[in-house]
């Protein structure tokens, strides 16, 4: 018997249907020589400090740094997870081969390897590595199963990342909390979280310190075209008025006229970060929201694997492109011209050397149905971009005109679209067109060099503006390029290896900073709170808050993936850093950080316990619809007036009734079921067959049903 382990029940169901395992068992499917079971996310985690020694349960400076002799893993404390792991362990112990069907990425590899390690798997392991969940992709994947050993470096990189985050997060958080935390506040430090916060704080300080200055510019209109003086901005109105008086004494003369045809290259396909950036700009979606919608579309088979960091396709995708375009019937007006001739095979789209684990995000050709409005928008972004990369370039006319009035030189530029090319896909995009209209639709008349005549000079008064606050879009770009301001797409590609975090984790990092109230949102802008500013000011060690140095760690993790760097070397470097940091901070006399009004409950600790309190959502902050389905990780919705249910309910079937066993379930009950797998004791449950109500807990079992515990 061969045992397939998927990362979610919904994926297991899809795989089982393709390979003929059609008999439903308790916790798995069976048939045709296969047993298909599942995890639901992280079943295992690195051990906590107190799992190594009882002494590390308390938070004490003298116990730091905490360096375990070796790192171990443990099962998470969740009743449903424990039961399902028991199913996996039993199946693995009796099979002849395991097929790892986890998400085909670093995190998915780590999740599955840890489960197999904990289950003491000692049979051969194959790897299903696919970029979409369509029936065809699954079938082709099973025909080309890989040896698990091929992905050992990927697993090593995932392990190194987890251990690095443990070493720095556990030690630095305790270190700074006990040294500088005043009262009950926890000062949370993270390998990626802290340099990201430092970027926001630095921008915030630049904005706060900015002093606006007035300036004056000389402008003039000649033949209905506005020109601006090329001299430096004037610092006083008096000088501006003198300049205006001078201009009034002379005619305007054309000194140069140049009109060049140019081309605007096609946009790149989406990786996860660029999709999150575009969705934030266009629809105001947070990075986390975009990731959720994109993941849902992937699991519904409408797009390919989303957690990617490349904007290219592998060359073996090229033969499939025409078929995908033909299936995109919603976009027939745009695909029809492409299908009249061979699809171009450009190196800007197809390049094996620039594809890592997966290719860029593209449609699968399966048309979306039963999707939310948000998912429709994300799908539209992906589909239009996929079509746009195969269109001709946009042809433009760039005009530059130079002139002078006496000895003062002037300049005007204009841009006109001659052939829209790929821009035809966005002709009805009002937001995008409005932003570019002024620049692109500025059609200039023809001028002759040497012509001259009267003009209408004036003084324009303005004020200098502060640096712009980060939005989620610009923060994601800053994380991708380790804080460097980069507009060029090719340069951005080169910097990705040194970015902060991975595309799949950046959304979570930003949300963590919000949750800990180190940052907050004002309209679309992200600003640092006083607590966030105080924390960064307290950290003197540049390694902890430098985006560039953290980016260097990310580069080493990618080298581990490629087999070009040792996981053990990376671990020893971090251990040495933690040892040095601990000594440095213990000798530091920095100021204490006190609790501010915006510090949330989840970053508080009780001194008597001397350990961090478990996260607990205050009643007024519980939002059930912000939680995810434990069965398939889609988001939850109210299903009519009787229950909360999975947004992917038709495929998943998960729901929580508003009333159960005669008792109305509170938001806290639902929250506890989803986050802990069990509620607190509920009074007065009416059990069928019992004459008297009882007090008991509700527990989620391995089949995601509820029972009295």
Given 155, 285, 305, 644, which residue is catalytic? 305
Tell me where in the chain the CATH 1.10.460.10 domain(s) lie: 159-208+469-603
DSSP 421: G
Residue 645: band (very low, low, confident or very high) from pLDDT cuts 50, 70, 90 = confident
Report the alpha-carbon distance of residue 694 to residue 89 in Å, rounded: 34
Tell me where in the chain the CATH 3.40.50.140 domain(s) lie: 2-144
Average pLDDT over residues 101-111: 91
Residue with more model confidence, 335 or 555: 335
Residue 616: band (very low, low, confident or very high) from pLDDT cuts 50, 70, 90 = very low
Name the pairing type of β-strands 2-6 and 34-38. Answer: parallel
Structure tokens at 354: 């620039």
Average pLDDT over residues 367-379: 93
Residue 580: how many other CB atoms lie within 10 Å: 13
pLDDT over 70 (residue 184):
no
pLDDT over 90 (residue 440):
no
pLDDT over 70 (residue 413):
yes
CATH code for the domain defined by 2-144? 3.40.50.140
Of all residues in the chain, the percent with pLDDT exceeding 90 is: 64
Q: Which CATH architecture has domain 272-388?
A: Orthogonal Bundle (1.10)
Report the alpha-carbon distance of residue 208 to residue 527 in Å, rounded: 11
Give kind and range of the element (H or E) at residue 138. helix 135-143
305 is catalytic: yes
Q: Are 218 and 243 in contact (CB under 8 A)?
A: yes
Tell me where in the chain the CATH 1.10.290.10 domain(s) lie: 272-388
Look at the chain and count its residues. 709
Tell me where in the chain the CATH 2.70.20.10 domain(s) lie: 214-266+394-463
Of all residues in the chain, the percent with pLDDT exceeding 70 is: 86
How does pLDDT run across 547-570, given as a tens digit for each residue? Answer: 877 888 888 998 999 999 999 999
pLDDT over 60 (residue 603):
no
Which range (222-226, 436-440, 560-564) has the least confidence? Answer: 436-440
The partner residues of 439 in beta bridges, in order of sequence, read: none
How does pLDDT run across 477-492, given as a tens digit for each residue? Answer: 999 888 776 566 666 6
Q: Which CATH architecture has domain 159-208+469-603?
A: Orthogonal Bundle (1.10)
Residue 605: how many other CB atoms lie within 10 Å: 17
Q: Are 348 and 389 in contact (CB under 8 A)?
A: yes
Residue 216 sits at φ, ψ, to 5 deg, of -130, 140
Tell me the fold of 214-266+394-463.
Answer: Topoisomerase I; domain 3 (2.70.20)
Residue 140 sits at φ, ψ, to 5 deg, of -65, -35
pTM attached to this predicted model: 0.77
């Amino acid at each position: 018997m061969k045992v397939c382990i998927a990362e979610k029940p919904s994926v297991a169901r899809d795989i089982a249907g393709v390979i003929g395992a059609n008999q439903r068992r308790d916790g798995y499917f069976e048939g045709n020589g296969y047993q298909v079971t599942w995890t639901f996310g992280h079943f295992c985690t690195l051990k906590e400090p107190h799992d190594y020694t009882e002494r590390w349960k308390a938070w004490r400076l003298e116990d730091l740094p905490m360096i375990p002799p070796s790192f171990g893993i443990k099962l998470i404390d969740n009743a449903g997870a424990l039961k399902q792991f028991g199913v996996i362990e039993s199946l693995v112990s009796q099979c002849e081969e395991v097929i790892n069907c986890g998400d085909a990425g670093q995190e998915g590899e780590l999740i599955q390897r840890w489960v197999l390690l904990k289950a003491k798997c000692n049979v051969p392991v194959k790897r299903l590595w696919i970029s979409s969940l369509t029936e065809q992709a699954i079938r082709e994947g099973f025909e080309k199963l890989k040896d698990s050993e091929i992905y050992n470096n990927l697993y090593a990189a995932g392990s190194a990342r987890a251990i690095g985050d443990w070493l720095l997060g556990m030690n630095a958080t305790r270190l700074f909390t006990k040294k500088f935390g005043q009262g009950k506040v926890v000062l949370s430090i993270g390998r990626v979280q802290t340099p990201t916060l430092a970027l926001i704080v630095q921008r915030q300080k630049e904005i706060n310190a900015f002093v606006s200055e007035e300036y004056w510019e000389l402008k003039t209109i000649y033949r209905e075209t506005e020109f601006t003086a090329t001299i430096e901005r004037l610092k006083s109105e008096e000088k501006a008025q003198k300049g205006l008086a001078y201009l009034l004494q002379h005619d305007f003369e054309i000194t140069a006229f140049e009109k060049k045809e140019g081309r605007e290259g096609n946009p790149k396909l989406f990786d996860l970060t660029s999709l999150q950036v575009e969705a934030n700009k266009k629809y105001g979606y947070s990075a986390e929201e975009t990731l959720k919608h994109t993941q849902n579309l992937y699991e519904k088979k409408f797009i390919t694997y989303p957690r990617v960091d490349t904007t290219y396709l592998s060359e073996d995708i090229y033969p499939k492109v025409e078929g995908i375009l033909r299936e995109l019937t919603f976009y027939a007006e745009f695909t029809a011209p492409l299908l009249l001739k061979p699809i171009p095979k450009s190196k800007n789209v197809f390049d094996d050397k620039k594809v890592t684990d997966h290719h860029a995000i593209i449609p699968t050709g399966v048309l979306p149905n039963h999707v939310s409005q948000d998912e429709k928008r994300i799908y539209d972004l992906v589909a239009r971009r996929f079509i746009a990369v195969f269109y001709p370039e946009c042809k433009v006319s760039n005009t530059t005109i130079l002139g002078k009035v006496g000895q003062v030189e002037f300049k005007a530029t204009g841009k006109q679209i001659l052939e829209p090319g790929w821009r035809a896909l966005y002709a009805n995009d009002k937001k995008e067109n409005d932003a570019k209209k002024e620049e692109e639709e500025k059609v200039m008349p023809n001028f002759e060099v040497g012509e001259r005549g009267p003009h209408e000079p004036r003084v324009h008064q303005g004020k200098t503006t502060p640096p712009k606050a980060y939005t989620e879009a610009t923060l994601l770009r800053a994380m991708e390029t380790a804080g460097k301001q980069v507009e060029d797409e090719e340069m951005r590609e080169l910097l990705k290896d040194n970015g902060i975090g991975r595309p799949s984790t950046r959304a979570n990092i930003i949300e963590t900073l919000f949750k800990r109230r180190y940052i907050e949102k004002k309209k679309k802008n992200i600003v640092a709170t006083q607590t966030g500013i105080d924390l960064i000011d307290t950290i003197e060690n540049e390694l902890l808050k430098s985006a560039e140095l953290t980016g260097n760690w990310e580069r080493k993790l990618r080298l581990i993936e490629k087999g070009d760097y040792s996981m053990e070397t990376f671990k020893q470097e971090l251990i040495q850093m933690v040892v040095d940091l601990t000594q440095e901070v213990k000798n530091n006399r920095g100021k204490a950080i006190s609790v501010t009004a915006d510090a949330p409950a989840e970053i508080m600790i009780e001194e008597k316990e001397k350990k961090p309190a478990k996260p607990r959502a205050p009643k007024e902050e519980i939002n059930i619809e912000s939680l995810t389905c434990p069965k398939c990780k889609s988001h939850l919705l109210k299903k009519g007036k009787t229950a909360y249910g999975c947004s992917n309910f038709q495929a998943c079937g998960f729901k929580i009734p508003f009333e159960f066993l005669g008792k109305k379930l509170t938001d806290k009950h639902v929250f506890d079921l989803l986050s802990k797998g069990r509620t607190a004791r509920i009074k007065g449950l009416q059990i069928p067959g019992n004459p008297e109500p009882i007090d008991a807990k509700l527990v989620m079992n391995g089949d995601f049903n509820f029972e009295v515990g």
